[in-house]
Amino acid sequence: MQNYKIKITFPSGKTIEAQTGSTPADLINEFDEKPEKIFAVRVNNELCSLNKGLFVDSSLEPVLMSSKDGSQVYRRTLCFILAAAAHELEPNNNVIIENSFGYAFYYTFQDGSEVPEKFVSDLKEKMDSIIKKNVPIETHFISYEQACQTFESLGLLETRKQLDYICPPRVQMNTIGEYTDLYYGPMMVSTGTLNAFKLQKYKKGFLILFPSSSKPDTVPDFKEYPVLFQTYARGKQWGKQIGVTSVASLNELVGKREADEFINISEVFQEKCISDIASQIHNRETTRLVLIAGPSSSGKTTSAKKLAMELQAIGYKPKVISLDDYYVGRDRTPKDENGNYDYECLEALDIELINQNLLDLFAGKKVELPSYNFVTGSREYKGKTLQISGNDILIMEGIHGLNDRLTHLVKPELKFKLYLSALTQLNINEHNRISTSDNRLIRRIVRDNNFRGKSAAATIAMWDSVRRGERLHIFPFQNNADAILNTALDYELSVLKVYAEPLLRCIHPGQKEYSGACRLLRFLNAFPPIPATAVPDRS
């Protein structure tokens, strides 16, 4: 067979010829960056491992820890090392990934027993040993039958069931030494450079803490989120009670044509959660203002409407005020470091007007409410007035709702703060979690296309900027919440899949967003499609 040469282009513009079948690892010294800093590579805008074979002309871009993709590769690889080390220590009781808290993932034992302190310390020692040995991380393919046998022998039955839905003729596996597992995304090619992490006993399980992409050599201390943990725990307990804890379980329901019942139960459970929050507000007695905050596409507008209905059902007359109408004029709007208008910072809102309007309303005065014209970038008054009394209660939703500076003149006892997030209790399987950020991004892609005519590529392109705003203006205030509402419905990604996949497939390899599109398509591939007609009108 003739040996072909392919053309390789680097970010500097340098081009070389390479043997077909070469890997980025073979060419690692051709990059300007130090080899040990490169965790993965984009090949023609597709995120790949360094041991990915190259068979066509390719543009290569190094992926470093300082990037979002790089930090995800680092975490995924570290979780693989954790699973391998845990299996060696406790082969008959797998560790299960549960959910994330900031820069940490929470794990528990498969059988529900409490994880001992000694296991956590032994696990850290075992992981350190694997990392010190710089063990190769290999990728290979095995048959469907072999994969089923492997996961049955490992006791990873949710992963085994997932194969029944995907039904691939061959399965790509990841291997460290004697341990084999299945992960959704590229890994590093060896264990030697993953030194920055901590393990910490927490509740019944333990945490693995990671560095951030901005400080790759420093592992931050764990910050407690007690209300968030309780919300997760409630969702997890509910999932166990109804027997649906993974996407594999959801696939089974769809296969048995039992998805409709699960959809209705999911809706009722969320309605119960909203009803409980309405009861908390009622029991406060002094509450006059409900502040709703949450990251992008967490369901703020829909949840505000549902909460208003629940409050009406117990005798209140809720009035909704939009923070979007309180932006300062465009000439006063702050700009970010790139010179773009920063509508997500607190200073983009007229804080003094917000407080004055609220105080006047609580004093029983009639207030003319502003309306913001996004075309002209100016505030307008159109004769819309509001006056409250008796059982009237104000609902105000916006990203800064939990920041006390927003309503600094309003007495604390008058405020009830509600934080929203899409905290699905499902995992894909035992070792692959569902990212709340990806859940929201898929929501946003579908919403932006349906209501704003934006392409999936445009939504993905601005997502990093949205996430930056969330880290600065929303997440630091989670612990100020009086309650947290989980807005995720465990069936929703199956419904969104029907709309999102065609939009994502419109992104071609020549676009920077192709890497993100491939990741989301790979993620959605695990879910069964559910038609929107199965969703009740009240959702």
pLDDT recorded at residue 427: 92
The CA radius of gyration of the chain, in Å to the nearest whole number, is 25
Check: CB of residue 84 under 8 Å from CB of residue 179: yes
Span 360-380, pLDDT tens digits: 999 999 999 999 998 898 999
pLDDT at 410: 97
The residues near 126 (Cβ < 8 Å, ≥ 6 apart) are 85, 86, 88, 89
Q: Report the distance separating Cα 118 and Cα 139, nearest Å.
A: 32
- What's the CATH number of domain 70-209, 3.40.50.720, 3.40.50.300, 3.90.950.10, 3.30.980.10? 3.30.980.10
Q: What DSSP assignment string belongs to 160-191?
A: HHHHHHH--SEEEEEEETTEEE--SS---SBS
Mean pLDDT along residues 249-276: 92
pLDDT class for 2, splitting at 50, 70, 90?
low
Tens digits of per-residue pLDDT, 487-520? 999 999 999 999 999 999 999 999 999 999 999 9
Q: Kindly indicate the confidence band of residue 336, based on its pLDDT and cuts at 50, 70 and 90.
A: confident
Q: How is residue 281 written in tokens?
A: 């507000």
Length of the chain: 539
pLDDT at 351 over 70: yes
Instruction: Give yes or no for a contact between 378 and 330, defined as CB atoms under 8 angstroms apart.
Output: yes
pLDDT in tens, 190-208: 999 999 999 999 999 999 9
Of 354, 355, 281, 349, which is closest to residue 318 (Cα–Cα)?
281
Cβ neighbours of 186 (radius 10 Å): 25
For residue 22, the model assigns a pLDDT of 94
61 — pLDDT class (breaks 50, 70, 90): very high
Residue 276, both tokens: 């409980």
403 has a pLDDT exceeding 90 = yes
**Do 5-64 and 226-534 fold alike per CATH?**
no
Q: Please give the Cα distance from 444 to 296 (Å, whole number).
A: 8
Alpha helices (H) along 180-258: 226-242, 247-255
Strands 367-368, 385-386: pairing is antiparallel
What is the chain's mean pLDDT, rounded?
A: 93
Domain boundaries, the chain: 5-64, 70-209, 226-534
Q: How confident is the model at residue 42 (pLDDT cuts 50, 70, 90)?
A: very high
Judged by phi (left if over 0) then psi (alpha if -120 to 50, else beta), residue 285 lies in left
Give the per-residue pLDDT at 399.
86
User: Domain 5-64 sits in which CATH superfamily?
Assistant: Beta-grasp domain (3.10.20.30)
Q: Is the pLDDT of residue 276 over 60?
A: yes
Highest mean pLDDT among 2-11, 95-104, 251-260: 95-104
Mean pLDDT, to the nearest integer, of 466-470?
A: 89
According to the model, what pLDDT value does residue 1 have? Answer: 44
pLDDT at site 268: 95
| Residues 332, 458 contacting (CB under 8 angstroms) | no
Collapse the DSSP code of 460 into the 3-class scheme (helix H, G, I; strand E, B; otherwise coil) and give the result: helix
d(CA 197, CA 202) in angstroms, rounded, equals 16
* pTM score of the predicted model: 0.91
DSSP state of 534: G
Owner of token pair 């913001």: 372
State the average pLDDT over residues 396-404: 92
CATH of 226-534, one of 3.30.43.10, 3.20.20.80, 3.40.50.10480, 3.40.50.300: 3.40.50.300
**Is it the case that residue 287 has pLDDT exceeding 90?**
yes
DSSP assigned state of 331: G
